[in-house]
Amino acid sequence: MARTSNTAKVELRGVKKRFGAKVVLDGIDLKIEPGKSLVVIGGSGTGKSVMIKCVLGILRPNAGEIFVDGTDVARLRGRERDAILKKFGMLFQGAALFDSLPVWENVAFGLIQGRGVKRSKARDIAIEKLAKVGLGPEVAKLWPSELSGGMQKRVGLARAIAADPEIIFFDEPTTGLDPIMADVINNLIVDTVKDVGATTLSITHDMVSARKIADRIAMLYRGKIIWEGPTSEIDTCGNPYVDQFIHGRADGPIKMEVRS
């Protein structure tokens, strides 16, 4: 098992992923320091989700290394991979709640199935985590289909933090929410992350959200990271691609590709 001596919590080195002839990730290098929040911005279809899925091990990169706590996880299998997965929590774009289970079992799922916590104890933890995202115990008994989009996202967030993960991934946390609910979710992300002291990697195209939750921002374009720096420097970075993206202009170096 390859190891590195650096201190990064998560590090990607030269990660490449292609589907057939289509190159999605073309050599990604990224580093996230412990306890920091990195937000990767980029247009739709630039491979942001693919990148996260490579780190999670859902997709296998064609080339490159992915280190988590100095361990190369890109080619781990079986028990060693399960051990790494226990460090992760993730909030999915559509919340991805299990519609066959009530809310509390969704939140407690990783505890009960993944870690063997007793159901009654897991239920207490679930209700406590729901309270952290501003949902009362009466929500615990409801089914995911009975919740609004914003509430589903909150439950998804509660599920992501339920097992006190060291690293949390956020996939488009504010997409599809009204601006107020988006801000509520942003605040919850900032608060809950501080609470558990987790390292986070988020992907979004919502700049308001990115500015709010990021310590550092990286921009992904055509399978490469074209800019990376502290959130405060993004407005003065002088990169025309970043500039076009954060101001949402149709004209600029980035052309909308009709066909991918």
Partner 1 sequence: MNVFAHIGRVILALMHEIGRLCVFGVDAVTAFVRPPIYWPLVLKQMMRIGFFSLPVVGLTAFFTGGVLALQIYTGASRYGAEAFVPLVVLVGITRELGPVIAGLMVAGRVAAAIAAELGTMRVTEQIDALTTLATNPIKYLVAPRLLAAVVSMPILVAIADSVGIFGGYVAATQSLGFTGSIYLKNTMDAVTFQDVSSGLIKATAFGFIIALMGCYHGFHSKGGAQGVGAATTSAVVSASILILAANYILTNLLF
Q: Which residues bind partner 1 (CB under 8 A)?
A: 53, 56-58, 82, 85-86, 88-90, 92-94, 96-99, 109-110, 113-115, 159-160, 163, 169
Q: Return d(Cα 12, Cα 55) in angstroms, integer.
A: 8
Q: Return d(Cα 80, Cα 131) in angstroms, integer.
A: 33
- For the CB of residue 234, give the shortest distance to partner 1 in the complex, in Å: 29
Three-state DSSP at 46 gives coil
- For the CB of residue 80, give the shortest distance to partner 1 in the complex, in Å: 13
Please report how many Cα atoms fall inside a 13 Å half-sphere around the Cα of residue 127, on the Cβ side. Answer: 11
Sign of CA dihedral 137, 138, 143, 149: negative
Q: Among residues 39, 32, 38, which one has the least CA distance to residue 8? A: 32
Q: Which residue number, 50 or 234, has a Cβ lying nearer to partner 1? A: 50
CA dist 174 → 39, 54, 63, 105 (Å) = 13, 22, 31, 24
Burial grade of 196 (CB within 10 A; 0-12, 13-18, 19 or more): middle
Q: Which residue number, 98 or 240, has a Cβ lying nearer to partner 1? A: 98
- For the CB of residue 92, give the shortest distance to partner 1 in the complex, in Å: 5
- For the CB of residue 237, give the shortest distance to partner 1 in the complex, in Å: 32
CA dist 169 → 134, 166, 182 (Å) = 20, 10, 17
